[in-house]
A = this chain, B = another copy of it.
Amino acid sequence: MTTESRAARPALPASPPLTERQEARRRRILHTSARLAGRGGFDAVQMREVAESSGVALGTLYRYFPSKVHLLVATMQDQLQHLHTTLRKRPPSDEDPGARVAQTLMRAFRALQREPHLADAMVRALTFADRSVSPEVDTVSRLTTTIILDAMGLDGPPTPEQLSAVRVIEHTWHSALITWLSGRASIAQVKIDIEMACRLIGVAAGADGDGSGAGAVTG
């Protein structure tokens, strides 16, 4: 939780491709993390308990995941991967791209509702992460972007405008989840807001012909 590590330690994600036992350890840790998070949320994921319950020494846990936030962000990455493959199986049915994205995100939202504590742990970790976790957070962010772009079902590559719209949707997604998790917004309101954000996809669709757009604002 200190601002920076001493000198960007090599860590695991670097070169050596992990032996089988190491891969197994990593899985066990992530599984334990998700299990503990599943009941109790962020606070219930205690590093000592994760280590013990994963059959791993505390020092080893920290070698695999340099902080609790790293661990939970990695857990989110893991869960997102599952979700992504699940979502791929039943692509959204609506014909409007924005509606498809909204549909997909609502499906993801319902999945999170089944494990609100897990969602709490992951999302809080994600938004609390500082610079030292940037690479991992970025991976999660890219995954989320991929899911949304998938749902849009574009023909060609997205325009910068569309990418901006997708980012706004992602921002709304994360932030709305937080308001829901902390009991400040209802499920219905999250739905409304996500759908509102998704309208931007229509707005940014062909709005590329004139030079206005983002530049229209004088600031």
Contacts and interface: CB of A to CB of B under 8 A. Distances in A.
A113 interface: no
Interface string A93-129: 1101011001100100000000000000000100111
B127 A128 contact: yes
A156 interface: no
Contact of A129 (B164, B182, B204): B182
5 cross-chain pairs, A with B, having the tightest CB-CB distances, nearest first: A171-B175, A127-B127, A171-B172, A164-B196, A99-B217
Interface residues of A, number: 59
Nearest to A199: B203
A219 B102 contact: yes
Interface string A191-219: 11101111110011000000000101111
A196 B192 contact: no
Contacts of A198: 217
A211 B167 CA distance: 27
Contacts of A218: 93-94, 99, 103
A41 interface: yes
A183 interface: yes
Interface in A159-197: 161, 164-165, 167-168, 170-172, 174-176, 178-179, 182-184, 189, 191-193, 195-197
Chain A interface, DSSP helix/strand/loop, else mixed: helix
Interface in A127-148: 127-131, 133-134, 137-138, 141
Contact of A171 (B43, B176, B219): B176
B141 A168 contact: no
Given A138-B184, A161-B196, 13 more contacts: A1-B43, A3-B43, A98-B217, A106-B217, A127-B175, A127-B178, A130-B182, A137-B182, A164-B192, A171-B176, A171-B179, A196-B200, A200-B203
